[in-house]
Amino acid sequence: MLILALDTATEKGSLALMAGDRLLAESFFDTPGAYLTRLLPGIAGLLADAGRDLRALGGIAVSVGPGNFTGLRIGLATAKTLAWSLGCPLAAVPTMEALAANFPFHPHPIGVIVDAKRQEVFWGLYQCDCPWPAPLMAPRRLPAADLTGLLTPPLLLTGPGLKAHEEMLQSFAPPGVSWAPPEMRHPRAASVARLGRRLIEEGRAASPADLTPTYLRPAL
């Protein structure tokens, strides 16, 4: 199955094209402001680089949040329009699961932190000792200071929220809590594609008409 994946949930977005387990092409956007003008040309370029046609797509996967409000709206609108016009399945991939999926077969739980502004974070905890992340608790929004009681080692921390709260986290993180390298702390469309293909194959595709972003908080 040929899958096109879009991630626009954070300030560093990406696109990926996968055929089965094989990553054919991946591209990245450095700023959220690029999504509106570069997303559709980026999709066209990705397909051209891989020598594939838009009509060959067997599914669309999109990162649905939580994350950047504007980025999520642009990504979901694009994915829904493509899925509707092509008549192919649409997979809604939680952004925090996509972040955890960057570390398949990791032996320890993975804590995912996304900045929610106003000294708050989105927090998720996953086990990823197989190819697929399994939530150990439902993602939630909470004051960043409340992470103090949640960092139980052994634990790997990842997510774009680490940068905004790094100094505070380092001041109280106990031994046995490790940090993902900076280049691994953003969602990758390749991980979104892998998780999305699984959803489609298991019959858990989303309805383009009903799909909405996962915000976990009202827009500011």
User: Regarding the domain with residue range 2-94+187-201, which homologous superfamily does it belong to in the CATH classification?
Assistant: ATPase, nucleotide binding domain (3.30.420.40)
Q: Are 158 and 111 in contact (CB under 8 A)?
A: yes
Does pLDDT of 219 surpass 80?
no
> Is pLDDT above 70 for 217?
no
Determine if residue 115 is left, alpha or beta; phi over 0 gives left, psi from -120 to 50 gives alpha, anything else beta.
beta
**DSSP run (H or E) holding 71:** helix 69-86
The two domains 2-94+187-201 and 96-184 share their CATH topology (first three levels equal): yes
Task: Give per-residue pLDDT as tens, 8-38.
Answer: 999 899 999 999 999 999 999 987 678 988 9
pTM attached to this predicted model = 0.94
pLDDT band at 220 (very low <50, low <70, confident <90, very high): very low
Q: What mean pLDDT, rounded, does the chain reach?
A: 93
- Give, in degrees to the nearest 5, the angle at Cα 68 between 63 and 72: 40
In the predicted structure, residue 148 carries a pLDDT above the cut 90: no
Q: Greater confidence, 41 or 34? A: 41
- Is the pLDDT assigned to residue 151 strictly greater than 50? yes
Statement: residue 71 has pLDDT above 70: yes
Q: Could you read off the pLDDT of 100-126 as tens digits, one per residue?
A: 999 999 999 999 999 998 899 999 999
Q: Does domain 96-184 have CATH number 2.40.50.100?
A: no
Using CA atoms of 59, 191, 18, 84 in order, give the dihedral in degrees to the nearest 10. 20
> What are the domain boundaries of the chain?
2-94+187-201, 96-184
Burial of 151 (0-12, 13-18, 19+ CB in 10 A): middle
Task: Look up residue 54 and give its two tokens.
Answer: 């838009």
